[in-house]
Amino acid sequence: MPRHESQRPSASHRANIASAAARLMAEDGITDYHQAKRKAARQLGLPEHSPFPDNAEVEAELRAYRSLYQEEGHAELIEALRHTALELLDLLAEFHPYLTGSVLDGTAGEHSRIDILLFADSAKEVEIFLLNRGINVGHVDARNERVEAVLLIQTDTVEANLVIFSRQQERVSLKHRDGRTRERIRADALRALLAE
């Protein structure tokens, strides 16, 4: 069998998994890309050793899905989430906050959390700052050894992950698991984005 023919099912499986994973993320609120890909492969009846698409492929499918099936109201949702994120960036200004994740890139849905990166002397300092302002704080497991802590807070409308790094990490380029650079913006850039 020619080599290019043997690769077709693999590429087809990747595309099918990406599409199904995007649907799961949009409809079921799954926010973890790997979990969505595994569940999609199971639903499609594909073998466990099937090659998974990378996160960028799933993200592209998620954008396409939202534009096809959830266009009405999605722009308003993103704008509302970004306004809430801006309030958080302003509140947490002394910790050099950045907005990142699905609210920034526009793929967030109704189940998404706002992801904010903070750079502080210690995670305890951030937690005390929040508690002194009457903001209840939960803890989430960090997925990166450079992260000091992930705090979970509830705004009036949505949950937010506050991902805390040491101050020295602010100049380091952070990457997604698949190697892509993690986009992030400060409050001024978010204000400009909202003004467009």
- Kindly give, in sequence order, each residue whose CB lies less than 8 Å from that of residue 55, ignoring residues fewer than 6 positions away: 33, 176, 177, 178, 180
Tokens 């937010």 correspond to what residue?
A: 160
CATH number for position 185? 3.30.460
pLDDT in tens, 40-68: 999 999 887 788 998 889 888 988 888 78
Residues 61 and 100 in one domain: no
Q: What pTM does this model have?
A: 0.77
Structural domain harbouring 37:
3-69
Nearest of 53, 62, 43 to residue 13 by alpha carbon? 53
Q: State residue 72's pLDDT score.
A: 73
Residues 119 and 185 in one domain: yes
How many domains are there within the chain? 2
pLDDT in tens, 138-162: 999 887 788 999 999 999 889 999 9
Residues 187 and 101 in one domain: yes
Q: How confident is the model at residue 29 (pLDDT cuts 50, 70, 90)?
A: confident
Residues 58 and 92 in one domain: no
Residues 98 and 58 in one domain: no
- Among the three residues 69, 103, 123, which one is the final residue of a domain in this structure? 69
